[in-house]
Amino acid sequence: MGINMTAVHTHFIAGNKVEGSSGKFHDVFNPSTGEVQGKTPLASAVEVNDAVAAAKAAFPGWSQTSVVRRARVMFKFLELATADKDNLARLLASEHGKVFEDAKGDVQRGLEVIEFACGIPHFMKGEYSNGVASGLDVYSMRKPLGVVACITPFNFPAMIPMWMFGIAIACGNTVILKPSEKDPSVPLRLAELMLEAGAPAGVLNVVNGDKVAVDALLDHADIEAVSFVGSTAIAHYVYARGTQAGKRVQAMGGAKNHMIVMPDADIDLVVDSLIGSAYGSAGERCMANPVAVPVGDKVADAIIEGLKPRIAELKIGPSLDPAMEMGPLVSAEHHAKVKSYIDMGEREGAELIVDGRGYRCQTQGYEKGFFMGASLFDKVTADMQSYQDEIFGPVLQIVRANSFEEAMELPSKHRYGNGTSIFTRDGDAAREYADRVEVGMVGINVPIPVPVAFHTFGGWKQSAFGDTNQHGTAGVNFYTKTKTVTSRWPTGVRAGADFFIPTLN
């Protein structure tokens, strides 16, 4: 692929593609070939200010548009994006590196939040109490916040933007989406489709960029709320700076999820589940289970024996080759980071059963892709740095436990608390695990326990800052504020001034 094929991306402000003016760009790779295929413009405060001004100008009209009409725009967007799904998935797979079918899943999981957003009239309903005192009625209404910023990571460039803008816009807000600079094409295309679906210009703007753009958003006086998903260090930073500026902030961070395997679990199901959960999307999922915790050595040995041939058979190659199960990592830099964690695990004394570091794609034209084979560690312990940190690559670590209590303690004490799974045939153990484990999302015989769109998504501990989850009713709460009206229509009888706070006696 020559330099002529490099696509120069834009921002999307007030319904128009806007070229960057900072002169700074971020390379967009095709991770399967290792070549640069595009350039993301990195916004300065100029583009951020323009986008916020456009969103602010669009807010009065959009927030006053009836909730039913707003829902119709979401229905239309659902129709257009569904029709465009293959195209979106191809763009996504080519920039992210996840395989095409998985990229379709990324789009689909986002569209499921849009389906939820189509029902927004129901969720915008307030409460009403009739006759709380003589002639006195009280009712509440939900109001949108204004201009909100949505800052998203590279690993779900379709789903996570839709988690956020789908609900924010349906609630009547206007949005600045600041997607990852690594894979900008899908977020830009989604913004075009929203415009086509009938969202007026300025309702959804996309500003591409890095820390400079994020800081400009966090400090901007006209932004009311910030929703962020990314790594923990940045999530904490965004939460601290955004709340300091008086904004409502939710900031989801990194993860290190554990799959507990009880002695009565179906080992074939466990092996299938671990292969998909730990190595799917090359391990670049915040709800993957990269740590397996077998209870008892017998279970651990059986899992390892089951995994070894399956890892050897894994089809790793170009993301758009339909025969492939796992694509490359997103960048050379991330490849080096994942490799350094495998080096660290060895140094720390874990047993490297399968080493994916040397994997090279042999297909012509893809030799320089950021591919890595699957790795498997046994005898990992809780004091190892490689266990405590998020690796975010195709590396599965086995931590052996001797009892249910010892197994449950691992995710409960880990600094991350995004997701966890337990595999067992025992309902009692599963119920107790779900009840007591100190983690925000739990799967029972489910390998990737991402809640469906009409429930809410959010981790605990260092996996999330702020107190509202993504999507579902929590999403509606985040993107709305309540106004409560206490109302009396005088009957004509005058009782004189009252100097004491009214009570319901």
Residues 274, 376 contacting (CB under 8 angstroms)? no
Contacts of residue 204, defined as CB under 8 A and 6 or more positions apart, other chains included, come to 12, 165, 169, 174, 175, 177, 190, 191, 194, 195
Alpha helices in 184-326 (DSSP H): 185-197, 211-219, 232-244, 267-279, 297-313
| Catalytic, out of 118, 150, 171, 286 | 286
Nearer to ligand NAD, 255 or 299 (CB): 255
Residue with tokens 């086509």: 196
Please state the φ and ψ torsions of residue 176, each to the nearest 5 degrees.
Answer: -110, 115
Q: How far apart are CA 377 and CA 282, in angstroms?
A: 16
Among the listed residues 210, 346, 348, 438, the single contact to ligand NAD using CB under 6 A: 210
Residues 19, 41 contacting (CB under 8 angstroms)? yes
Residue 163 CB, nearest distance to ligand NAD (Å)? 9
Mark the segment that binds ligand NAD (CB under 6 A) among 123-131, 207-215, 365-373, 497-505.
Answer: 207-215
Among the listed residues 140, 231, 445, 473, the single contact to ligand NAD using CB under 6 A: 231
- Interaction of residue 418 with ligand NAD, rule CB under 6 A: yes
Q: Is 392 left (phi over 0), alpha (psi -120 to 50) or beta?
A: left
Contact positions with ligand NAD (CB under 6 A) in 277-296: 286
Nearer to ligand NAD, 254 or 345 (CB): 254
User: Beta strand pairing status for 441-444 and 35-41?
Assistant: unpaired
Cα torsion 367, 368, 374, 379: sign:
positive
Contact positions with ligand NAD (CB under 6 A) in 330-369: none
Among the listed residues 41, 254, 345, 447, the single contact to ligand NAD using CB under 6 A: 254
Residue 57's SS3 state is helix
- Interaction of residue 186 with ligand NAD, rule CB under 6 A: no
Residue 255 CB, nearest distance to ligand NAD (Å)? 5
Residue 472's SS3 state is helix
Cα torsion 321, 324, 325, 329: sign:
negative
Among the listed residues 459, 466, 472, 475, the single contact to ligand NAD using CB under 6 A: 459
Total of chain residues touching ligand NAD, rule CB under 6 A: 26
Residue 43 CB, nearest distance to ligand NAD (Å)? 11
- Interaction of residue 329 with ligand NAD, rule CB under 6 A: no
Residues 406, 437 contacting (CB under 8 angstroms)? no
- Interaction of residue 181 with ligand NAD, rule CB under 6 A: yes
Residue number of the CB atom closest to ligand NAD: 230
Residue 238 CB, nearest distance to ligand NAD (Å)? 7
* Long-range contacts at 126-129 (CB < 8 A, ≥ 24 apart): 126/482
- Count of other CB atoms within 10 angstroms of residue 368: 14
Nearer to ligand NAD, 180 or 480 (CB): 180
- Interaction of residue 239 with ligand NAD, rule CB under 6 A: no
Q: How far apart are CA 275 and CA 219, in angstroms?
A: 43
Among the listed residues 32, 63, 180, 421, the single contact to ligand NAD using CB under 6 A: 180
- The mark string for 134-173 relative to ligand NAD (x by CB under 6 A, - otherwise) is -----------------xxxxxx-----------------
Element spanning 143, H or E: strand 136-144
| Amino acid symbol at 500 | F
- Interaction of residue 34 with ligand NAD, rule CB under 6 A: no
Residue 45's SS3 state is helix
- Interaction of residue 27 with ligand NAD, rule CB under 6 A: no
Among the listed residues 91, 111, 150, 255, the single contact to ligand NAD using CB under 6 A: 255
Q: How far apart are CA 343 and CA 335, in angstroms?
A: 12
Residue with tokens 């900072």: 22
Mark the segment that binds ligand NAD (CB under 6 A) among 168-176, 226-234, 268-276, 293-301.
Answer: 226-234
Residue 286 annotated to the active site: yes
- Interaction of residue 252 with ligand NAD, rule CB under 6 A: yes
- Interaction of residue 59 with ligand NAD, rule CB under 6 A: no
Return residues touching ligand NAD (CB under 6 A): 151-156, 178, 180-181, 210-211, 214, 229-231, 234, 252-255, 286, 390, 392, 418, 459, 463
The set of catalytic residues is 286
